[in-house]
């Protein structure tokens, strides 16, 4: 009975040794197969990498992860490593999940976190305004504004409207609403005067340029033509629009009617 147990135990040990040997051989075969393919480390996008993201942040936040790929399958220009020399580079555009990361997708020029979005069927036009003309700093992307235009009527307007002339018969400026419901899609800085010289003719320091804001709005193509003409020929002023504001598009104010309310 004892010999039979010993024989069974020995057979089990031999079987286990055989299984282990097969597994070791198979693992070695896999390693040899992988080694034969000359694997290379590459990065693949796990989660969307927004434009403007640094390469270092993309790795640290798990947006891109490193994996191994057979040498023959590595895309040309694939990113192989992240270090101090390239970690500060910026994503030049959005990089979609599943893409292999190419080195040329990152560059030295920062990109805005998000580009302006122009609504479908509309165009973007930028207007340089002083702080009062844009309601201080309270106009932001997403605001709705009314654009008013102060202009000097032509001779034709003078002959057709007595309110456009002053007591001396000179042309008088008028103000009226140009566009009554305009969406602001971006705000930036702009110089409202040409760059001044360092010194004037008298040797004194010349005044510094006056800084204002560059307000970019979305309008229909037909309104864009009107707006550009208003920019070129008049002085524009923006008024922050309330949701229930009633705008009188026909209202015209001149020097003659300024205090009459008519």
The pLDDT of residue 20 is 63
Q: How distant, in Å, are the alpha carbons of 146, 186, 209, 218, 254 from that of 116?
A: 20, 7, 27, 10, 37
Residue found by looking up tokens 């609504």 in the block? 119
In whole angstroms, give the CA distance from residue 254 to residue 150: 9
Whether 87 has a pLDDT exceeding 60, the answer reads yes
Average pLDDT, the chain: 78
Q: Which of 246, 239, 217, 229 is nearest to 151 (CA)?
A: 229
The answer to whether the CB of 218 falls within 8 A of the CB of 246 is: no
User: Could you tell me the maximum CA-CA distance found in the chain, to the nearest angstrom?
Assistant: 136
Residue 151, CA atoms < 13 Å, CB-side half-sphere: 20
Question: pLDDT tens digits, residue range 202-216?
Answer: 666 555 555 678 889
Separation CA 106–CA 92 (nearest Å): 6
* 95 CB-near residues (< 8 Å, 6+ apart): 45, 48, 49, 64, 101, 105
User: What domains can be seen in the chain, in order of their start residue?
Assistant: 40-107 (3.90.1210.10), 123-254 (no CATH)
Average pLDDT over residues 73-99: 87
Q: What is the pLDDT of residue 142?
A: 86
165-209 tens-digit pLDDT: 544 455 789 999 999 999 998 887 766 555 445 455 566 655 555
Each residue's pLDDT tens digit, 129-166: 887 877 877 888 888 999 999 999 876 555 444 444 54
Taking residue 136's Cβ as centre, other Cβ atoms within 10 Å add up to 10
Residue 113 has pLDDT above 50, yes or no: no
Question: What band does 9 get if pLDDT is binned at 50, 70 and 90?
Answer: low
Say which DSSP state 234 is in. S
* Closest by CA position to 45, among listed 83, 123, 112, 98: 98
Element of type H or E holding 241: none
């Amino acid at each position: 009975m004892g010999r039979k147990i010993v024989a069974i135990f020995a057979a089990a040990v031999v079987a286990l040794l055989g299984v282990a040997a097969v597994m070791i051989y198979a693992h070695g075969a896999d390693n040899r197969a992988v080694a034969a393919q000359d694997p290379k480390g590459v990065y693949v996008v796990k989660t969307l990498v927004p434009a403007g993201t640094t390469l270092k942040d993309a790795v640290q936040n798990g947006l891109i992860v490193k994996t191994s790929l057979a040498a023959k399958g590595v895309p040309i220009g694939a990113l192989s490593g992240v270090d101090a020399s390239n970690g500060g580079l910026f994503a030049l555009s959005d990089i979609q999940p599943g893409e292999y990361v190419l080195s040329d997708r990152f560059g030295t020029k920062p990109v805005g976190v998000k580009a302006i979005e122009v609504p479908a069927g509309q165009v973007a036009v930028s207007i340089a305004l002083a702080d009062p003309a844009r309601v201080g700093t309270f106009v932001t992307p997403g605001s709705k504004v009314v654009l008013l235009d102060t202009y000097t009527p032509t001779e034709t307007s003078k002959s057709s409207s007595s309110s456009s002339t002053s007591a001396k018969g000179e042309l008088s400026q008028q103000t009226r609403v140009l566009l009554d419901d305009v969406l602001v899609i971006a705000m930036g800085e702009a110089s409202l005067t040409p760059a001044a010289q360092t010194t004037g003719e008298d040797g004194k320091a010349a005044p510094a340029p006056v800084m204002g804001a560059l307000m970019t709005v979305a309008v229909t193509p037909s309104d864009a033509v009107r707006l550009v003409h208003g920019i070129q020929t008049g002085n524009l002023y923006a008024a922050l629009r309330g949701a229930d504001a009633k705008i009188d598009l026909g209202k015209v104010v001149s020097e003659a009617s300024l205090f009459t309310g008519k």
